[in-house]
């Protein structure tokens, strides 16, 4: 099966009839942006061994490459439209892998009301697969939420608990088999969250209605909140007394399997961190709860400080060594 046969059989159906009579045979996609809407575009590259585990299932890989990109749209308050898919294979993929991968893509497309508008399929040297996705969404004109819009006095609202992805990854990478098995049985949600992100797409309308600024937690809690601070020219105080954790993370903390450092420096949770004026907080929290989320107020942004400062439940500042993931 050559590149063009692969596209015709496995990837053309992902366009869901949106590619027009020429299918995926043109050099580029033609998109129509609805009147009164702005186009929001984001790209992510996921590499085997870095962003997803070598040997992971094609279903998990497909879910992650779509969902991490949708999370970027949610942080901008944007509604999903379509995406471009670029695949670089170190060797020719088997038909079973392609069927399972594209099948999972189709499931996620239907769930998030998005379609594939094109892309590229190619080979790569080096022995590892690389997948790049460019996702597109729309927002009402002038309503996109930026990182740089936070104001002093805004409260820091999280759309849900953090730390599960970091815990799940630690379990998957555990070399002690008995400990790996015990923690895996005790923390099934963390393992799932690590492999299957849940982008807060349903919260996009609330984000653009009530938040001054937003970011998704992909690199790490402190690193990503720091992005809002830097872009807005502010600092932030975080209170660990206000943080909420899942049952799995609470168990792992009690067992001293993970630390607060792991939680605050770990990424891949894909919850949203929002800078929200105090007058909007209760309405936003209520709206997020109606989406079956578990939001909480984690701190406050201030104009007279810089950086992110973390305080424990007794009010003492906590020194954090690693704020999040960096590639180089």
Domain ranges of the chain: 3-140, 147-318
Give residue 327's pLDDT. Answer: 53
Give residue 256's pLDDT. Answer: 96
Give residue 138's pLDDT. Answer: 97
Q: How confident is the model at residue 274 (pLDDT cuts 50, 70, 90)?
A: very high
> What are the pLDDT digits (tens) for 283-320?
999 999 999 999 999 999 999 999 999 999 889 999 88
Residue 323 has pLDDT above 90, yes or no: no
Average pLDDT, rounded, for the chain: 92
Domain 3-140 has CATH 3.30.1330.10: yes
Give residue 21's pLDDT. Answer: 44
Q: In whole angstroms, give the CA distance from residue 236 to residue 301.
A: 4
> What are the pLDDT digits (tens) for 134-192?
999 999 999 999 999 999 999 999 999 999 999 999 999 999 999 999 999 999 999 99
C-alpha dihedral, 86 to 49 to 257 to 326, nearest 10°: -70
> What are the pLDDT digits (tens) for 28-79?
888 889 999 999 999 999 998 777 877 889 999 999 999 999 999 999 999 9
Q: Which CATH number fits domain 147-318: 3.70.10.10, 2.40.10.10, 3.90.650.10, 3.40.50.2300?
A: 3.90.650.10
Burial label, 123 (beta-carbon count in 10 A; 0-12, 13-18, 19+): exposed
Phi-psi region of 299 (alpha: psi -120 to 50; beta: other; left: phi over 0): left
Instruction: List, in sequence order, the alpha helices (H) in 113-245.
Output: 164-173, 177-186, 188-195, 204-210, 221-232
The pTM is what? 0.92
Give residue 10's pLDDT. Answer: 79
In degrees, rounded to 5, the angle at the alpha carbon of residue 231 between the alpha carbons of residues 76 and 159 is 45
């Amino acid at each position: 099966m050559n590149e063009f046969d692969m596209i015709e059989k496995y990837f053309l159906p992902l366009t869901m009839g949106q590619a027009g009579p020429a299918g995926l045979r043109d050099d580029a996609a033609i998109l129509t942006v609805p009147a009164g809407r702005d186009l929001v575009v984001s790209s992510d590259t996921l590499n085997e061994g870095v962003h997803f585990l070598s040997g992971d299932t094609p279903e998990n890989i497909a879910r992650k490459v779509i969902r991490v990109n949708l999370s970027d749209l949610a942080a901008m308050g944007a509604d999903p439209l379509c995406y471009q898919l670029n695949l670089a294979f170190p060797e020719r993929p088997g038909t079973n892998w392609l069927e399972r991968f594209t099948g999972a893509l189709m499931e996620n497309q239907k769930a998030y009301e998005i379609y594939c508008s094109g892309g590229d399929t190619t080979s790569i040297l080096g022995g590892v697969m690389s997948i790049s996705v460019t996702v597109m969404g729309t927002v009402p004109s002038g309503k996109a939420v930026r990182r740089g819009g936070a104001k002093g006095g805004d409260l820091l609202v999280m759309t849900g608990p953090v730390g599960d992805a970091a815990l799940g990854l630690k379990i998957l990478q555990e070399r002690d088999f008995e400990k790996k098995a015990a923690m895996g049985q005790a923390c099934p949600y963390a393992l799932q969250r690590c492999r299957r992100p849940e982008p807060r797409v349903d919260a996009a309308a609330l984000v653009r209605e009530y938040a001054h600024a937003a970011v998704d937690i992909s690199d790490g809690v402190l690193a990503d909140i720091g992005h809002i601070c830097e872009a807005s020219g502010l600092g932030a105080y975080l209170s660990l007394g206000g943080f909420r954790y899942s049952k799995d993370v609470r168990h792992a903390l009690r067992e001293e399997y993970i630390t607060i450092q792991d939680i605050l420096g770990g990424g891949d949770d894909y919850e949203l961190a929002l800078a929200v004026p105090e007058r909007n907080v209760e309405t936003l929290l209520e709206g997020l709860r109606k989406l079956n989320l578990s939001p909480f107020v984690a701190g406050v942004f201030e104009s007279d400080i810089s950086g992110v400062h973390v305080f424990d439940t007794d009010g003492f500042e906590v020194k954090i060594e690693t704020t999040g993931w960096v590639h180089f």
